[in-house]
């Protein structure tokens, strides 16, 4: 992924613990001699950011890096050596690996070396950067290599290696598309091509940091191809999870999605989502987690001034031509409001998807309003002209910081979506179904059918 290169350049140092059994875990080392004299070696734990676990400069090609781990961890090892470059290592607490590069070959020795020599070799042999191999072919070859391995440490860790390999494969398929929904740099976002619907998801896929987001994309793709039906807006988590045969992964997926809904403060739908998903769970610990999530959502007070039924019909906004418009002017139609600003890349990224759903629902009793929250009207006007934005484009005077409307609905980050009824009264002040999520259309059509 692109962020790896940026992070490798940005991080330049780390203070490491020298204790063998420090608070952070057990001392773990990687050292060796590379084929280049200068540069450095870095170790990262990949997540929704990149956490640097260690760094060592090269001194005449030699490096020595120590860090600590509490549990076995997949990491990204990057070097300035053209032979080793960057690849995934699987480190157990207490590993002590030496890497020597000579004659274009890298030889691993020491505790933990056999497994990581294997990972290095299959990474190099079956490379996602190889234009002669598709992502599916790279994945299949790596899986076959892991299954056929005779190395004892590989056999002992086979399940987690296969899980991580699957997560990495899904990341290669969907990561660019997922990132494009954050960057917002283009008017049209190219959909990720996925046709591997017979892929059997394994529970160890959770070892990969963004596993649930890539599984979401599989579910979205299945919806769009008619292979997965969502019954209604309260069952989508249950419907997604119910299509996963493995019980352990199914339960982990339910808990993760509901926890994410809590993080997003989906307080108006989370109880219904949990109620439908709970029958899928058998593990008492997971049932307790879900009940705890629902309980935590019930304590959120940010939206108390925008509860369902609250009248918003008197709020006024400005149109591009300078005229004012009230929410009441749209009486008789449901209103979906997208709150955005010109500086918000994820907001801009949702625009092509909003345009698509608006087109698909044209002629129905629903209006889609793009409500800008820039402090200065001029920013909004220039951005609309530059991007050729059409439809119901409105601006709230004072922007996100001062607008009475945004204050009443509970100030949050953006993009922010909400739904009003035909009378201009609140239905959902924190709709976490973004236009890029096909479940949104299910939700809106459900409202229109009432």
Residues 265-316 pLDDT 10s? 999 999 999 999 999 999 999 999 999 999 999 999 999 999 999 999 999 9
d(CA 225, CA 247): 25
Instruction: Identify the structural domains of the chain with CATH numbers, from first to last.
Output: 2-125 (2.60.40), 146-221 (no CATH), 229-300 (no CATH), 305-448 (3.40.30.10)
Average pLDDT over residues 89-108: 96
d(CA 417, CA 409): 11
d(CA 397, CA 417): 18
Q: How confident is the model at residue 17 (pLDDT cuts 50, 70, 90)?
A: very low
Distance of CA 57 to the CA centre of its chain: 32
Q: 109 phi and psi, to 5 degrees?
A: -140, 165
d(CA 25, CA 326): 59
What pLDDT digit, counting tens, does each position of 342-390 carry? 999 999 999 999 999 999 999 999 999 999 999 999 999 999 999 999 9
d(CA 444, CA 366): 8
pTM, two decimal places: 0.90
Strand order from edge to edge, sheet including 316-318: 324-326, 316-318, 392-395, 366-372, 334-340, 416-420, 426-428
Provide DSSP, 45-104. EESSSEEEEEEEE-BTTEEEEEEEESS-EEEEEEES-TTT-EEEEEE-TT-EEEEEEETT
Q: How confident is the model at residue 2 (pLDDT cuts 50, 70, 90)?
A: very low
Looking at residue 23, its pLDDT comes to: 53
What is the average pLDDT value for the chain, to the nearest integer? Answer: 92
d(CA 423, CA 284): 43
Q: Are strands 50-57 and 316-318 parallel, antiparallel or unpaired?
A: unpaired
Q: How confident is the model at residue 336 (pLDDT cuts 50, 70, 90)?
A: very high
d(CA 110, CA 97): 5
d(CA 396, CA 402): 9
Looking at residue 185, its pLDDT comes to: 66
Q: How confident is the model at residue 417 (pLDDT cuts 50, 70, 90)?
A: very high
Neighbours of 70 (CB within 10 A): 10
419 in Cβ contact with 336 (< 8 Å): yes
Q: Please determine, for residue 19, whether its predicted confidence score (pLDDT) is greater than 60.
A: no
Average pLDDT over residues 191-219: 93
Q: Please determine, for residue 12, whether its predicted confidence score (pLDDT) is greater than 70.
A: no
Q: Count of alpha carbons within 13 Å of 179, Cβ hemisphere only?
A: 12
Q: How confident is the model at residue 241 (pLDDT cuts 50, 70, 90)?
A: very high
The conformation of residue 125, written as its DSSP 8-state character, comes to: H
By the 10 Å C-beta count (0-12 exposed, 13-18 middle, 19+ buried), 316 is classed as: middle
Q: How confident is the model at residue 180 (pLDDT cuts 50, 70, 90)?
A: confident
Q: Which tokens sit at 253?
A: 């997926």
């Amino acid at each position: 992924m692109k962020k790896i290169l940026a992070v490798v350049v940005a991080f330049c140092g780390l203070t490491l613990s020298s204790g063998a059994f420090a608070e952070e875990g057990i001392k773990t080392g990687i050292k060796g001699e590379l084929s280049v004299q200068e540069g450095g070696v870095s170790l990262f734990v990949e997540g929704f950011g990149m956490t640097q676990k260690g760094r060592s400069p090269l001194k005449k090609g030699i490096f020595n890096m120590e860090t600590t781990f509490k549990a076995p961890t997949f990491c990204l090892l990057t070097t300035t050596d053209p032979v080793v470059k960057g690849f995934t290592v699987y480190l157990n607490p207490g590993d002590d690996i030496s890497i020597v590069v000579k004659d274009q070959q890298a030889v691993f020795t020491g505790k933990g070396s056999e497994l990581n020599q294997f990972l290095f070799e299959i990474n190099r042999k079956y490379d996602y950067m190889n234009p002669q191999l598709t992502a599916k072919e790279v994945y299949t070859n790596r899986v076959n290599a892991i299954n056929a391995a005779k190395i004892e440490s590989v056999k002992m860790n086979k399940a987690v290696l296969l899980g991580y390999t699957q997560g990495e494969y899904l990341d290669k398929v969907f990561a660019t598309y997922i990132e494009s929904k954050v960057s917002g740099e283009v008017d049209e976002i190219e959909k990720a091509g996925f046709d591997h619907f017979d892929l059997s998801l394994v529970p160890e896929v959770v070892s990969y940091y963004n596993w649930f987001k890539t599984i979401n994309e599989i579910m979205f793709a299945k919806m769009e191809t008619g292979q997965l039906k969502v019954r209604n807006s309260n069952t989508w988590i249950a419907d997604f999870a119910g299509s996963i045969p493995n019980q352990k992964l199914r339960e982990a997926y339910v808990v993760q999605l509901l926890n994410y809904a809590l993080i997003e403060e989906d307080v108006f739908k989370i109880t219904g989502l949990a109620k439908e998903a709970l029958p899928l769970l058998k593990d008492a610990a997971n049932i307790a987690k879900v009940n705890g999530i629902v309980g935590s959502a019930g304590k959120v007070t940010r939206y108390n001034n925008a509860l369902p039924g609250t009248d918003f019909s008197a709020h006024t906004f400005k149109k591009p031509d300078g005229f004012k418009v009230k929410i009441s002017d749209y009486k008789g139609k449901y209103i979906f409001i997208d709150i955005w600003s010109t500086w918000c890349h994820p907001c801009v990224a949702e625009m092509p998807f909003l345009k698509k759903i608006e087109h698909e629902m044209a002629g129905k009793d629903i209006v889609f309003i793009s409500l800008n929250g820039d402090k200065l009207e001029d920013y909004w006007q220039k951005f609309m002209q530059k991007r050729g934005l059409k439809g119901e484009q409105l601006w709230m005077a004072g922007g996100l910081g001062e607008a009475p409307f945004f204050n009443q609905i509970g100030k949050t980050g953006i993009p922010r979506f909400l739904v009003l009824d035909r009378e201009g009264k609140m239905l959902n002040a924190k709709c976490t179904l973004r236009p890029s999520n096909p479940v949104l259309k299910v939700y809106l059509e459900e409202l229109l059918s009432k």
